[in-house]
């Protein structure tokens, strides 16, 4: 299968909008503006790469195949490519890796690129895998492309690679001014970007700017809410359900606590609105006629209070206060807590947006300018209707070109 996929990508090495189209991309408007049967010269290569990526199942934890294909392709068109392996929790776990790629200047033999712009997105997707499909052949600007990852975030991956190749073809950038990074695990705990960040810190590797690819409706995001994942546990006393006063129902305590949490003001800000809570899973008890001794729930919080460093502590304190007000024996364990993430969005010609989901922008350490931008809508990204138009994919190529130019001051 890998050989056939690479054969399908071979044309990429030789090849070089109105809805959700950034005005900032008007420099190349003659190439980007599409009618039903007309499009930019890179349309075929862009759609071929996007199809290959979406066709490969890569739910979080199973990203190896799509990573291998990206490594082979980027190598074939002249990139220096590094497989950046993540530590394995045990010997039976798969060897997962990030893909790091840059252009090596002909007169430079360094094994690492110079500071510049990092162009990055993720290659994992949420389950289940949904096969690739396209609404019309040959494609036109309004053609709809469906499948898991068609938006989040393989659309960004394909558009970012195409954008850099177009900038090089036009002579705008050369050498290692822009580095590509495609990470694993963004949809779960962000372990791919966290690992890259720790390696970059150890190597004293810095960037002037980082462009993160996520579905922002083709608008430039001014930031996104913070995030935390928590498990709330309740303890009770088992007994016969006919005599509830002789026991203590952990499920009842947990239910009361969750209602209080959902109704509580956990912090807000003018830009990001209010902190929200999603009760993802609940479990507890052993039978309907037995007073539950234990119960637990897993919740996800979208943090709107404070800033990236302080926001989670504000929300955590309020959350703990709510739980103590219900039952002193309630326990809470949280991971990956951080406050709202600010991104740079003052770029001429781009519409702006603030998004509620989390991204890897919070997981990359360093004093760099952060941009958050990408094609497609988050509202379809995790659903069975995930899809994107050709028009929006092509507009994203122009958008990424404009952002790279802005970041490099070109």
Active site members: 186
Residues 341, 358: Cα–Cα separation, whole Å: 9
My answer on whether omega of the bond before 340 falls inside 30° of 0, hence cis, is no
DSSP letter string, 259-302:
HHHHHS---EETTTEE-EEEEEEEEE-S-TTEE-SEEEEEEEEE
Helices (H) and strands (E) in the chain, counts: 10, 20
DSSP letter string, 202-226:
HTT---SEEEEE---TTSEEEEE-E
- What lies within 8 Å, CB to CB, of 8 at 6+ separation is 48, 51, 52
What count of other Cβ atoms lies within 10 Å of the Cβ of residue 305? 24
Q: Which ranges in 34-63 belong to alpha helices (H)?
A: 43-55
- By three-state DSSP, how is residue 76 classified? helix
- By three-state DSSP, how is residue 134 classified? strand
Query: Would you report the helix, strand and coil content of the chain in percent, each value rounded to 5?
Result: 35, 25, 40
CB 67 within 8 A of CB 182: yes
- By three-state DSSP, how is residue 122 classified? strand
What count of other Cβ atoms lies within 10 Å of the Cβ of residue 95? 10
CA distances to 178, 237, 245, 260, 281 from 285, rounded to whole Å, are: 54, 11, 17, 21, 14
């Amino acid at each position: 299968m890998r050989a056939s996929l690479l054969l399908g990508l071979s044309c990429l090495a030789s090849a070089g909008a109105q809805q959700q189209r950034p005005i900032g991309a008007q420099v190349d408007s003659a190439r980007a503006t599409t009618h039903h049967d007309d499009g930019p010269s890179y349309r075929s290569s862009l759609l071929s790469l996007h199809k290959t990526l979406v066709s490969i199942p890569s739910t979080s934890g199973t990203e190896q195949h799509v990573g291998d294909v990206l490594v082979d392709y980027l190598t074939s068109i002249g990139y220096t490519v590094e497989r950046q392996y993540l530590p394995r929790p045990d010997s039976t776990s798969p060897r997962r890796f990030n893909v790091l790629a840059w252009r090596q200047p002909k007169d430079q033999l360094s094994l690492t690129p110079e500071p510049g712009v990092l162009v990055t997105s993720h290659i994992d997707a949420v389950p289940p895998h949904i096969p690739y499909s396209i609404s019309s052949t040959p494609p036109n600007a309004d053609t709809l492309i469906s499948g898991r990852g068609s938006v989040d975030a393989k659309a960004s991956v394909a558009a970012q690679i195409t954008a850099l190749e177009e900038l090089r073809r036009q002579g705008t950038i050369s050498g290692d001014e822009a580095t590509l990074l495609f990470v694993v695990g963004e949809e779960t705990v962000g372990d791919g970007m966290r690992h890259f960040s720790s390696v970059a810190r150890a190597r004293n590797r810095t960037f002037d700017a980082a462009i993160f690819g996520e579905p922002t409706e083709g608008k430039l995001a001014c930031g996104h809410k913070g995030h935390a994942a928590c498990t709330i546990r309740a303890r009770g006393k088992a007994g016969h359900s006919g005599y509830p006063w002789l026991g203590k129902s952990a499920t009842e305590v947990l239910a009361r606590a969750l209602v209080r949490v959902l109704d509580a003001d956990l912090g807000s800000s003018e830009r990001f609105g209010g902190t929200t809570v999603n009760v993802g899973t609940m479990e507890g008890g052993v039978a309907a006629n037995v007073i539950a001794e234990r119960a637990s729930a897993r919740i996800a919080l979208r943090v709107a209070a404070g800033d990236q460093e302080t926001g989670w502590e504000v929300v955590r304190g309020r959350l703990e206060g709510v739980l103590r007000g219900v039952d002193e024996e309630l326990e809470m364990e949280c991971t990956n807590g951080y406050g709202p993430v600010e991104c740079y969005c003052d770029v001429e010609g781009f519409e702006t947006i603030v998004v509620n989901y989390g991204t890897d922008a919070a997981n990359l350490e360093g004093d760099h300018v952060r941009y958050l931008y990408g094609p497609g809508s988050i509202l379809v990204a995790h659903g069975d209707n995930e899809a994107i138009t050709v028009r929006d994919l092509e507009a994203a190529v122009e958008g990424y070109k404009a952002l790279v130019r802005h970041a490099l001051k070109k």
